[in-house]
Amino acid sequence: MRTAALALGLVAVRAPAFAQTPKAGWGGVGKEEAPAFSWGMPLFDGFWMAWTPATLAFFAFVFSAIALMGLLEWRRPGGAPRHGVLGLDTTRGDRLFIALLGSAFIFLGWLALFSTPLWGALGLAVAWGGFVFWRV
């Protein structure tokens, strides 16, 4: 009996503290949570193109690569032609094109064979780009 009275007394003392906590009761039911980050979530609503973080990153990379090629051509004109392992005489721009085209085929092949996620394809594409700029 004494234990029950002690427990009841503790509950009675702590009851106001429980009632004042922000998560007490049904107060959070029906509230929308902030959406988590997603590579496929649109950045702009009602825009003509589905600008997602992935498309933004892709276009930023392509424009940065073109700007870097322009800067290198301005600093060292001529395109640094060389004869690579494919038997082609290539310049920097040719090697960029071959790397981007090969990367596109790597990603398409990965999607056809393994589906998503594409991290493995990204690794292969980076390795392919390194090979092209190193040896082709």
59 vs 2, higher pLDDT: 59
Classify 114 as helix, strand or coil.
coil
48 vs 4, higher pLDDT: 48
pTM: 0.67
Q: Are 118 and 108 in contact (CB under 8 A)?
A: no
For helices 53-75 and 92-113, angle between their N-to-C axes, nearest 10 degrees: 160
pLDDT above 60 for 16? no
26 vs 1, higher pLDDT: 26
CA distances from 58 to 29, 54, 132 (A): 39, 6, 20
Q: Longest C-alpha distance within the chain, in Å?
A: 96
Q: How far, rounded to the nearest angstrom, does the alpha carbon of residue 95 sit from its chain's CA centroid?
A: 25
Return the domain boundaries, the chain: 53-77+90-135
Note the pLDDT of residue 54: 87
